[in-house]
Chain A
Amino acid sequence: MSTMTDTDAQTAATRTTQVYRVYIKAEPERVWAAITSPEWTDRYGYGGRIEFDRLEAGSPYRHYTSEAMRAMNAPDVAIDGEVVEVDEPRKLVMTWRMAMDDGLAAEGFTTLTYELEPRPGGLTRLTVVHDLTGAPRLQLLLSGGMEDEGAGGGWAWVLSDLKSLLESGSSLGGGGGPQ
């Protein structure tokens, strides 16, 4: 947490660190795959393939824009950063910068943490903690405040979609995973 200044305290909807939690009926290994493998990341939320040089601390990664975004002249890379900590399949920490927009890229690298905890009944409790200190525009975007402008519903939307994809995949009898 950053130290709040008077100005920050007066700003409406100050959400410096954002915390999102969802329960998904899938084993942690499947949820881990859904957030770290390109075949999966392309299928929910904002889409686009994620690519890690290596899934280990210090390794760079980039999350490419989806085909739909590139069709609208978006650059190739949507998000970039570095892996900070890996504890497969329980915890993944990475730096995170929105590279596809100059204004958002100027807000610099933020810190994103995924925590996966197995729960009884084959559930995974997925908690996303996004430290968005010093990134007011990203705070707005990722809390879904720009959904009406066609910018998607932020983390809540992404995680709702992820839950939907992982849970409905099995109910359709297709095994759920990309082949």
Chain B
Amino acid sequence: MTDCSDRATDWHPEPPTGWVDTAPRHVTNWSPIIDVMGRGDDGDRVFKALADPTRRLLLDLLFTQDGRTLTDLLAGVEAAVAMTRFGVMKHLRVLEDADLVVTRRSGREKRHFLNPVPIRLVHDRWIDKYTERRVTALAELKNELEAQA
């Protein structure tokens, strides 16, 4: 793990501007494995799923309009690249496997929803770690837990 503790003391949280206390409380940047889906894969599936332009396009389509059917998604993809229904299904399966897409039945239709939580977990695990905004998290949690005991 990158040692950034020497800089931790330089960082002081700004007081919150809104009503929400967004003070860092995460500890994910301390754990070697984020275990996004409880499979011990450290976000592998998420990174693999994101490493393809068609799959990123599918996520973008769901971001602009969530709850789409396969037919609807196919039309959206075809507007950008040539792709078969089977091809889109295959990409959707990879996204579902990474839990970036969650499907739900609505009557006879299967609808696809963008699930941003795995991206958030990867963000909290990797991005924040290197932006060094959450390095005091474990100390805070420890204090919280000890104060409760």
Q: Which of B27, B36, B65, B116 has the most CB of A within 10 A?
A: B116
- Give the complex CA separation of A142 and B39 in angstroms: 27
> In this complex, what residue of A is CB-closest to B146?
A174
Q: Are A15 and B66 in contact (CB under 8 A)?
A: yes
B19 surroundings in chain A (CB, below 8 A): 65, 68-69, 72, 74, 100, 150-151
Interface status of A157 (Cβ within 8 A of chain B):
yes
Q: Across the interface, do A150 and B36 meet the contact criterion of CB distance under 8 Å? A: no
Is B120's CB under 8 angstroms from A19's CB?
no
Inter-chain contacts of A1 with B (CB < 8 A): 67, 106, 111
Instruction: For A24, give its contact among B16, B38, B66, B144 (CB under 8 Å).
Output: B38
CB distance from B60 to the nearest CB of A (A): 10
A21 touches B99 (CB 8 A): yes
B22 contacts partner chain A, Cβ-Cβ < 8 Å: yes
Counted as pairs of residues, one from A and one from B, with CB atoms less than 8 Å apart, the total is 127
The reply to whether B22 and A150 contact each other, CB–CB distance below 8 Å, is yes
Which of chain B's residues 85-106 have a Cβ closer than 8 Å to chain A?
99, 102, 104, 106
Q: Is the CB of A160 within 8 A of B113?
A: no
B139 to A: closest C-beta gap in Å? 12
The answer to whether B31 and A9 have CB atoms under 8 Å apart is: no
Q: Is the CB of A14 within 8 A of B120?
A: no
State which residues 136-158 of A face B: CB under 8 Å. Answer: 143-144, 147, 149-153, 155-157
Segment 112-154 of A: residues with Cβ below 8 Å from B: 119, 121, 123, 127, 129, 143-144, 147, 149-153
Given the known A-B contacts A143-B116, A163-B121, A172-B145, are A9 and B65 also in contact in the complex, defined by CB atoms under 8 Å? yes
What would be 8 A-B contacts, judged by CB atoms less than 8 Å apart?
A15-B63, A17-B66, A21-B117, A23-B35, A25-B35, A68-B20, A156-B119, A160-B124
Interface residues of A (CB under 8 A from B): 1, 9, 12-25, 43-44, 46-47, 65-66, 68-69, 72, 74, 100, 119, 121, 123, 127, 129, 143-144, 147, 149-153, 155-157, 159-161, 163-165, 167-169, 171-172, 174, 178-179
